[in-house]
Amino acid sequence: LFAGRVEFIKSAPALKFLPDPDVPEIAFAGRSNVGKSSLLNALTGRKSIARTSVTPGRTQELNYFEVGEPTRLRLVDMPGYGFAKAPPKVVENWRRLVRDFLRGRVVLKRTLLLIDSRHGVKPVDEDMMQMLDEAGVGYRVVLTKADKIKASELEAVTAATIAAARKRTAAYPEIIVTSSEKKMGIEDLRAAVLQDSLV
Ligand code: GTP
Ligand code: MG
């Protein structure tokens, strides 16, 4: 499926700009700079269909990508959270947009919650998990940037992340370990996204 059409369609700053809810959607969530856009690129095998950035907090909208011709799936690159220096108004807007999206989007099948391997699950990630649990949106926890740490450290953070996920109601009990840079875990992720899009 990802070998065919993948196209950026729009940035939606508010729910009224979302596309018609006519195909399944999978969303990417996580702290700013965790690697959401990079993972979306790796998943679809595109170099830069989703804009990546070294400046955290660049994406403030829901960025929509269509997959398939005719469209069979939409991927949603969500605005990142938890960056320092975010003005309270930006944080408040983010919260409202994300909460309303998670609660109201009937075609949202699953969310991928990305966690940076170097940092593990932080309090801001627990807040996001809470929002997902409360909205009843199932999510898979995905470790990113696995190429950045040693194997022993990766083992420890994987165990800790699995433990954090298992405390949650809407999280999958297993996690996916990835590196967009080294294309690690990408096939597993593709299989998971395809499976989730069919539920
Ligand atoms: P926001 O849109 O600001 O929320 O960030 P994002 O989560 O979309 O992160 P993005 O994909 O833009 O990546 C942030 C930075 O991390 C970029 O400099 C990427 O090149 C880098 N990065 C992303 N994934 C990986 C990875 O797997 N390995 C390494 N080494 N770097 C990565
Ligand atoms: Mg991004």
Q: What is the ipTM of this complex?
A: 0.98
The predicted-structure confidence for 161-196, as pLDDT tens digits, reads as follows 999 999 999 999 999 999 999 999 999 999 999 999
Is pLDDT larger for residue 88 or for residue 60?
88
102 DSSP 8-state letter: H
On the 0-12 / 13-18 / 19+ scale of CB atoms within 10 A, 179 is buried
Angle formed at CA 116 by CA 173 and CA 133, multiple of 5 degrees: 40
Ligand nearest to the CA of 114: 1
90 DSSP 8-state letter: H
Domains of the chain: 6-197 (3.40.50.300)
The predicted-structure confidence for 7-37, as pLDDT tens digits, reads as follows 999 999 999 999 999 999 999 999 999 999 9
Say which residues have a Cβ less than 8 Å from residue 18's Cβ, sequence separation at least 6. Answer: 12, 62, 64, 101, 105
| Residue 59 CA, closest ligand 1 atom number | 2
Give me the percent of the chain exceeding a pLDDT of 90: 81
pLDDT at 63 over 90: yes
Residues with a CB atom less than 6 Å from ligand 1: 30, 32-38, 52-54, 56-59, 80, 144-145, 147-148, 179-181
- Which of 53, 117, 118, 125 has most ligand 1 atoms within 8 Å of CB, for mutation? 53
Query: Quick one: pLDDT at residue 84?
Result: 73
| Residue 146 CA, closest ligand 1 atom number | 27
Residues 26, 109 contacting (CB under 8 angstroms): yes
DSSP string, 125-141: HHHHHHHHHHHT--EEE
Q: How confident is the model at residue 85 (pLDDT cuts 50, 70, 90)?
A: confident
Say which residues have a Cβ less than 8 Å from residue 134's Cβ, sequence separation at least 6. Answer: none
Q: From ligand 1's centre to the CA of 22, what distance in Å?
A: 30
